[in-house]
Amino acid sequence: MVIERKTDDTEWSPPNLVDYETVHHGFVWPTPEETFGRRADAPGCFNIAYEAADRHVAAGEGDRIALRSLASESPATTLTYARLAEDSARFANALADLGVVPGDRVFTLLGRMPALYIAALGILKRGAVFSPLFSAFGPEPIKARMQIAEAKALVTTARFFERKVKPVLADLPSLRTVVLVGGGDGGVDFDVALAGQPTTCRIAPTRADDLAIIHFTSGTTGRPKGAMHVHGAAVAHKLTAAYALDLKPDDIFWCTADPGWVTGTSYGIIAPLLIGCTIVSDEEEFDAQRWYGNLERERVTVWYTAPTAVRMLMKAGDDLPQRYDLSRLRLIASVGEPLNPQAVIWGRDVLKRPIHDNWWQTETGGIMISNFLSMPIRPGSMGRPVPGIEAAVTKREASGAVSFVEMPDEQGELALKAGWPSMFIGYLNEEERYRKCFVDSWYLTGDLVRRDADGYYWFVGRADDVIKSAGHLIGPFEVESALLEHPAVAEAGVIGIPDPVAMEVVKAFVALRSGHTPDETLRKDLLAHARKRLGPAVAPRYIEFCHSLPKTRSGKVMRRLLKARELGLPEGDTSTLEVEK
């Protein structure tokens, strides 16, 4: 099935990427200077924060709105680009006074509040390394991450500091400075620190290849890794936002991811500011009515969200969005997990816009494969490589070399030709693990995919999650998508369990939509449905009903946990596990 975006969708200006083939074919990554222009104040230097705020001010665009920060208890806060440039300069000056030097690792543990955006840019202006923590983490995951990065400073609130940091403070000997947004005991008051500072600063003379950000992976497959990213990654952030999200300066852009995850920083903070558009952010958690309300009231034009959120909106019913005016919304995109075809089609039918899936990882720093606005969508496919990205389907040979799968639709590991600007430069303190990701100048992603004859990539599963049954390789995504087509199914997670004959057989864990009873009749009905859709070799042998699936806090199904529990094995690192209800 193919979804064409109709031409009457383009009452908007034409997409940034019109002719994919031509642009992709001849693409050479521009340098930072070619992408953003010269820096008169610091020739040869490059700093993400300058490009995100000060360049717009220098161009006379300081009055434009950079951020609309929503909260339920207080009115929305609006920050202009000028204000963001000034406050982040103040914060950079304050950090200098507090003894933070370039290269120091500065963490944030904050909700999605204006101070987070100011702190992020201020840290980068100081030449320090920004490392955002997800605010719902408890003391242990916070300690683990700050320890391996040898955090020198932390920006948080008194409440988080008291509950989450104090219990582990003795284990953080490198931590010298704590700044508390809203003030309180145990740290320097953020507002006070800013108050006496000049509104300009000498932005650190960082180079494009200097370390800027450390991002921890989601921990879906094991202990989270600290992926390191450089200032020059901004070239990829800007261009991928322009091509894959079609962002333009006039857009009002809402990325629902928390900046504790890479999506929330690369596209929740950096990319939209580089483009010069308005960011919408919401301090509150998911709520279907609130979200539709935000889209309507803020007149959001481009919305970047995740499959779990889409599935929750689907669960909330098809009538609800009809009560809101979503006509401003011209592009909906999704990332983080496979987006089931059903969800893409639901978007088209119910929200009146199909959902454009795209693929990337913490390690890649930016979007790598995408369903572009100018291209027909194939529901269930992640799309095609962004211009500048050479992707391949590969096999690892016993010798350690990689070979390329040329046959359409044959499965293999997704590999990317190394060298795009936002590629990670290492895993913090895990040199060996980093080196193992690269073979012959290809980065091996650990995800299994297939590519169809037209060059669209289809996600099969993480290499660790793929099920080997009676000689077949079964991707959990395919089985989960088939189960989701059944009207009773809200969520599905599929694993392989050992079987003496077939090696492994498929077991599905299924959470039901409200109004359905988990009984034998339904189980049989689901098994029959799956067999009809997938054939007996691929369909689940067993189905277990559950209330909900274990997920990371960024919303990814933790299949390894389903498996460990099923087999009675240790659960491994659960620091990113969403508290199960």
Interface residue list for ligand ATP (CB under 6 A)? 217-222, 224, 335-339, 357-359, 361-362, 382, 445, 447, 459, 462, 556
The least distance separating ligand ATP from the CB of residue 275, rounded to whole angstroms, comes to 21
Nearer residue to ligand ATP within complex by CB, 302 or 505: 302
List phi, psi (to 5°) of 275: -75, -30
Phi, psi of 241 (to 5 degrees): -65, -40
Nearer to ligand ATP, 35 or 135 (CB): 135
Q: In this structure, what are the phi and psi dihedrals at residue 408, rounded to the nearest 5 degrees? A: -60, 145
382 binds, among ligand ATP, Mg ion, none (CB under 5 to 8 A by kind): ligand ATP
Q: Which range in 217-225, 233-241, 247-255, 262-270 contacts Mg ion by CB under 5 A?
A: 217-225
Stretch of residues binding Mg ion (CB under 5 A), selected from 62-70, 209-217, 375-383, 479-487: 209-217
Nearer to Mg ion, 217 or 552 (CB): 217
Q: Find the shortest distance in angstroms from Cβ 542 to ligand ATP.
A: 24
Site for Mg ion, residues 494 to 513, rule: CB under 5 A: none
C-alpha 571/C-alpha 567 separation (Å) is 10
Q: Which two tokens stand for residue 109?
A: 């543990």
Only one of the segments 23-31, 211-219, 341-349, 418-426 lies at the binding site for Mg ion (rule: CB under 5 A); that segment is: 211-219
Partner touching 330 among ligand ATP, Mg ion, none, CB below 5 to 8 Å by kind:
none
336 binds, among Mg ion, ligand ATP, none (CB under 5 to 8 A by kind): ligand ATP
Dist CA 253 CA 350 (whole Å)? 21
CB of residue 218 vs Mg ion: minimum separation in angstroms?
7
| DSSP codes joined into one string, 171-203 | G-TT--EEEEET--TTSEEHHHHHHTS-S----
Q: Rank residues 207 and 223 by Cβ distance to Mg ion and give the closer one.
A: 223
Residues 211, 357: Cα–Cα separation, whole Å: 29
**CB 335 → ligand ATP: shortest distance, Å?**
5
**Residue 321 contact among Mg ion, ligand ATP, none, beta carbon within 5 to 8 Å by kind:** none
* 438: β partners: 443
Q: Tell me which of ligand ATP, Mg ion, none is bound by residue 240, counting a contact when its beta carbon lies within the kind-specific cut-off of 5 to 8 angstroms.
A: none
Residue 434 near which of ligand ATP, Mg ion, none (CB within 5-8 Å, type-dependent): none
Q: 354 or 476, CB closer to Mg ion?
A: 476
Minimum CB distance to Mg ion smaller for 499 or for 573: 573
Dist CA 49 CA 47 (whole Å): 6
Is the Cα torsion angle 26, 369, 376, 301 positive or negative in sign?
negative
Q: Which is nearer to Mg ion, 80 or 217 (CB)?
A: 217
| Residue 301 binding: pick among Mg ion, ligand ATP, none (C-beta 5-8 Å cut-off by kind) | none
Cα Rg of the chain (Å, integer): 23
**Of all residues in this chain, which one has the CB nearest to Mg ion in the complex?**
217
DSSP string covering 453-488: TTS-EEEEEEGGG-EEETTEEE-HHHHHHHHHTSTT
Q: Which residues make beta-bridge pairs with 417?
A: 442
CB 54 within 8 A of CB 81: no
Tell me the closest approach of the beta carbon of residue 362 to Mg ion, in angstroms: 6
Q: How far is the CB of 427 from ligand ATP (least distance, A)?
A: 10
Q: Between residues 54 and 480, which has the closer beta carbon with respect to ligand ATP?
A: 480
Separation of alpha carbons 294 and 112, rounded Å:
15
Question: Considering beta carbons, is residue 225 or 231 the nearer one to ligand ATP?
Answer: 225
* Kind and range of the H or E run holding 125: helix 114-125
Q: Please report how close the Cβ of residue 54 comes to ligand ATP at its closest, in angstroms.
A: 30
Report the DSSP pairing between strands 472-474 and 467-469.
Answer: antiparallel
Residue-wise DSSP of 262-306: HHHHIIIIIHHHHHT-EEEEESS---HHHHHHHHHHTT-SEEEE-
Give me the least distance between CB of 250 and Mg ion, in Å please: 35
Indicate the residue among 76 and 437 with the shorter CB distance to Mg ion: 437
Residue 102 to residue 95: CA distance in whole angstroms? 10
Q: Which is nearer to ligand ATP, 156 or 445 (CB)?
A: 445
- Which pairing describes strands 129-133 and 77-80: parallel, antiparallel, or unpaired? unpaired
From the list ligand ATP, Mg ion, none, which binds 481 (C-beta under 5 to 8 Å, kind-based)?
none
Helices (H), 338-452: 341-346, 431-436
* Residue in 265, 289, 325 with CA at minimum distance from that of residue 134: 265
Shortest Cβ 477–ligand ATP spacing (Å): 7
Instruction: Please state the closest distance from residue 330 (CB atom) to ligand ATP, in A.
Output: 20
| Residue in this structure with the two tokens 């923590």, named with its chain if needed | 133
For ligand ATP, which is the closer residue by CB, 193 or 335? 335
CB atoms within 10 A of CB 111: 24
Instruction: Find the shortest distance in angstroms from Cβ 230 to Mg ion.
Output: 19
| Separation CA 264–CA 266 (nearest Å) | 6
Question: Minimum distance between the CB of residue 359 and Mg ion, rounded to whole angstroms?
Answer: 12
Out of Mg ion, ligand ATP, none, what residue 338 binds, judged by CB under 5 to 8 A for its kind, is ligand ATP
**The residue to which tokens 């088209």 are assigned:** 348
Q: By the criterion CB under 5 A, which residues form the site for Mg ion?
A: 217
